[in-house]
Amino acid sequence: MADTTGTATPEAAVEHGEDGVRRRDFINIAAIGAAGVGGASVLLPLISQMAPSEDVLAESSTEVDISAIEPGQAIKAIFRKQPLFVRRLTEKEIAEAGAVNAGSLRDPQTLEERTKEGHRDILVTMGVCTHLGCVPLGAAEGEVKGEFGGYFCPCHGSHYDTAGRIRKGPAPTNLEVPEYVFTSDTVIQAG
Ligand code: FES
């Protein structure tokens, strides 16, 4: 007698049910994985050819005249083809950064560790969000600075404080402070 209950036979379950789907998924995943490996092996030599040599990177540096930056203002420069933010903090912004218990932060660092002695008001960071690399807002006049008064990345909502430290959102670490020196009271050299 025909089965009128609508229940699949054991054979049908194997062919169309969970097991069958899993088997097909596995085959698809295996195929994508193999393509991914092949793609990567083709791309890697290309990328290594395009990357500048260590020597070139070491030689490239950027000088920035900071004399015209007023407290509360920032400027954008380019350092090794990426945005560089240089900001002169107000007394209030310095106090806000200092009032935070650095140990409680996702990437624990004090303002002192992120600035140079004698120049606590000058914050030099890369303008590159540490989540997926967007350029955060907050350096140009009128741009939103996020909930902590520093920088805000609109791509996925990362908020950085007045010391450029990650305070909220998906970014894993603080905005990077590149290597730099003060070559005079009014000029910094990154790199
Ligand atoms: S790239 Fe900035 S939050 Fe995702």
Kindly state whether residue 3 falls inside one of the protein's structural domains: no
Based on the structure, what is the number of domains in the chain? Answer: 2
Instruction: Examine the domain organization and report whether 67 and 43 are in the same domain.
Output: no
> Which residues lie closer than 8 Å to 154 by C-beta, 6 or more apart?
134, 136, 137
Instruction: Examine the domain organization and report whether 103 and 38 are in the same domain.
Output: no
Instruction: Examine the domain organization and report whether 39 and 85 are in the same domain.
Output: no
Q: What is the pLDDT along the chain (191 residues), one digit of tens a residue?
A: 444 444 444 444 444 444 444 444 444 444 444 444 444 444 444 544 556 566 555 558 999 999 999 999 999 999 999 999 999 999 999 999 999 999 999 999 999 999 999 999 999 999 999 999 999 999 999 999 999 999 999 999 999 999 999 999 999 999 999 999 999 999 999 99
Instruction: Examine the domain organization and report whether 29 and 111 are in the same domain.
Output: no
Instruction: Examine the domain organization and report whether 37 and 99 are in the same domain.
Output: no
Position 9 scores a pLDDT of 41
Ligand 1 probe mutation, 106, 128, 134, 173, most atoms within 8 A of CB:
134
Instruction: Examine the domain organization and report whether 132 and 180 are in the same domain.
Output: yes
Contact between 24 and 15 (Cβ < 8 Å): no
Domain housing 29: 10-50
